[in-house]
Structure 1
Amino acid sequence: MFTQRKYYYPYISPFDPCRPIEVKSYETPPQLYIGFQPPSLPQYESPKEALYRGTLWPALYSPYRNPYERGDEQQ
């Protein structure tokens, strides 16, 4: 299984004048994990929902979640 949010730990210099961010993160889009479009990929039931989500296929839906909001599992 894959996760769309990746974390890394940058180098922190002992001479850094500012308080460093110890853990940084970024998101990868779901289409990176799908090679070719598989046949019979499920679609959203209504065009309204597909337009709201921005994609016709639920497998490609990826909302942006702010990593600095409370409730994130990696803080």
Structure 2
Amino acid sequence: MYSLVKYYHPYISPFDPCPPMKVKSYRTPPNLYVGFQPPSLPQFSPKEALFHGTLWPIFYSPYPGSKKEEMKRE
């Protein structure tokens, strides 16, 4: 399986006046991992599709939480 969140370790300069962020993250959209849309994909109900913003669960990517929540996970 794949992860929609990628992590990397940026260069930390010894002369940087700010405290360093040792790990940074970014999100990739789920459509990067699906070439052509396969036939017979499972679908959300119409009400769920309006809530999620897509008809197909494979293309659903929730917005990340707040910065505080992300820092707790790291």
TM-score with structure 2 setting the length: 0.88
* 2:17 aligned counterpart, secondary structure: coil
Per-residue CA deviations over 1:3-52 (Å, capped at 9, x if unaligned) read 0000000000000001011100000011000000000011112x111010
1:48 counterpart residue number: 47
1:11 match: 11
One-letter amino acid of the counterpart of residue 50, structure 1? A
Partner of 2:26: 26
Q: What amino acid is the match of 2:27?
A: E
Percent identical pairs in the alignment equals 65
Give the helix-richer structure, 1 or 2.
2
Q: Distance in 1 between matches of 2:39 and 2:13?
A: 50
Deviation of 1:65 after TM superposition, in Å, equals 2.1
Equivalent position of 1:58 in the other structure: 57
Stretches of structure 2 lacking an aligned partner (at least 5 in a row): none
Any gaps of 5 or more consecutive residues in structure 1? Answer: none
